[in-house]
Amino acid sequence: MNKRATIEDVARIAGVSTATVSRAIHTPEIVSDSTREAVNGAIEQTGYTLNLAARNLRQQRANATVVLVPDIGNTFFSEILVGIERVASAAGHTILIGHTAKDPVREEKYLNTLVNGQADGALLLNGHLPDVVIERIKNAAGGGFPIVSVSEALDDQIVPHVGIDNVRAAAMATQYLLDHGHRHILHLRGPGDNILTHQRMAGFEQAMRAAGLATNPDTFLDGDFTIESGVTAAHQVTRDPTKPTAVFCANDEMAIGLMSELAIRGIEVPTDVSVIGFDDIAFAKTARPGLTTIRQPRAEFGECAMRRLLDLINGKESGFPFINVLEATIVERGSVATR
C-alpha cells in the first residue's frame, strides 16, 4: 500500500517550508499567488489530504461551529448560512446546523456540542439561550462560551450581536408608505414571543406618531412570520370596513401570502392596497407584483458574525460588549402605489 503523503512531502516538492504550506491551505489570502500555485501543484502531485482528526487532536479543537437555526425552511436563514460558511470554510472550520424548531430541548442538545467538544463556538439565529447556558455565561470569568447572536438579539444581551436596527428599519418602511400618500396603514406583525415583532411594531408606531396618525388595536393584524398567516390576514384586510390603503408586513413571507390571497379575492396590489415587506428574500423579486421591501444584508450578517466568533474562539477579543449594526435599505419594486 502506498504511504500516505505528508505535509513535509508537499513542502519539499513546492520548495517552501511546512509553515508556508499550512498558511497556503488555511489562510490562502496572505500568501502570494505563485506560492499558492506551487503548493496546490504539490498537493495534486502527492495526493496529500489533511488529517483533520490529527490536527484537531493536536490543537485540542473541534474546528467546528454549531449554528442554531429556528426554521431551516425560511429562506431568510439560508443566506445568512451562506455568509457563515464562506468565512468558516476559509478558516478551516466546519459548520454543524442545529435546527431548533423553537424547541428549548433541541436548543440545549445543540449547545451541548460546546460542552462535549464537538464545537468550539456557537452562532445563535434563534434569539434564545437556555437558562442553564445563561447562568454559565454570567458566572464564568471571561464570558463562558464563544457565542454570537445574529439577527434576533437576546432579551438580555449577554453575548455579542450582529444585526440591523429593526426599529429604525420598520420606521423607514412606514415612512415610505406615508411618503406615498397613505394615511390608513395597517401593520401585519410577527409572533408575540419574538423580539423582532416588538422592535418592528415600535418603529411602525414611531413613524405613524411622527406623522400625527394614531394607532389602536385595530391597526394591527396578527401573524407569525409564515406565508399562511399572510393569507389569513388577507381575509381581515378585505373585510375591514374602514378600507385600509396599505399594509406594512413584518416579513416578506407574510407579505407574499397576503398579496397572493388578495389577488385571489380580486383586490389589486398596489392599485387597491399597497404592500411593503421586510427582509428581501429571493421570492420578493419574483412575486407579482415585485415586492417593495426592506433589505437585510443577510450574507453580511453571516460573514460578520462568523468573523467575530473566530476572534472569540482564538482569544483575539473579549467579545463584550459589542453590537455590530449593519445597514438596512429599501428595495423599490412594484407593490406600493401613490395615493
Under the rule (CB under 6 A), what is the footprint of ligand RIB? 70, 74, 76, 151, 196, 225, 251, 253, 278-279
Q: Minimum CB separation from ligand RIB for residue 207, in Å?
A: 18
State which amino acid sits at residue 153: A
d(C-alpha 284, C-alpha 304), whole Å: 24
d(C-alpha 139, C-alpha 141), whole Å: 7
Cβ-based neighbours of 113, under 8 Å, separated by 6 or more: 62, 64, 66, 96, 98, 119, 122
Q: Minimum CB separation from ligand RIB for residue 74, in Å?
A: 5
User: Among residues 53, 251, 78, 86, which one has the least CA distance to residue 164?
Assistant: 251
Q: How many C-beta neighbours within 10 Å does residue 45 have?
A: 13
Question: Terminal CA-to-CA distance of the chain, rounded, Å?
Answer: 78
CB nearer to ligand RIB: pick between 70 and 160: 70
CB nearer to ligand RIB: pick between 107 and 253: 253
| DSSP letter assigned to residue 279 | B
CB nearer to ligand RIB: pick between 36 and 333: 333
Q: Minimum CB separation from ligand RIB for residue 76, in Å?
A: 4
Q: Minimum CB separation from ligand RIB for residue 200, in Å?
A: 8
Cell reading at 127? 434569539
User: Among residues 51, 44, 54, 52, which one has the least CA distance to residue 13?
Assistant: 44
Q: Minimum CB separation from ligand RIB for residue 229, in Å?
A: 11
d(C-alpha 120, C-alpha 297), whole Å: 26
CB nearer to ligand RIB: pick between 76 and 110: 76
Q: Minimum CB separation from ligand RIB for residue 152, in Å?
A: 6
CB nearer to ligand RIB: pick between 219 and 251: 251
Q: Are strands 246-249 and 185-189 parallel, antiparallel or unpaired?
A: parallel
Q: Minimum CB separation from ligand RIB for residue 293, in Å?
A: 10
Q: Is the dihedral of CA 122, 196, 86, 96 positive or negative?
A: positive
CB nearer to ligand RIB: pick between 145 and 301: 301
CB nearer to ligand RIB: pick between 204 and 278: 278
φ/ψ (deg, to 5) at 119 = -140, 150
Q: Minimum CB separation from ligand RIB for residue 127, in Å?
A: 8
Distance of CA 7 to the CA centre of its chain: 37
- Cα Rg of the chain, angstroms: 24
Cell reading at 319? 467579545
Nearest residue to ligand RIB by CB is: 251
CB nearer to ligand RIB: pick between 63 and 324: 324
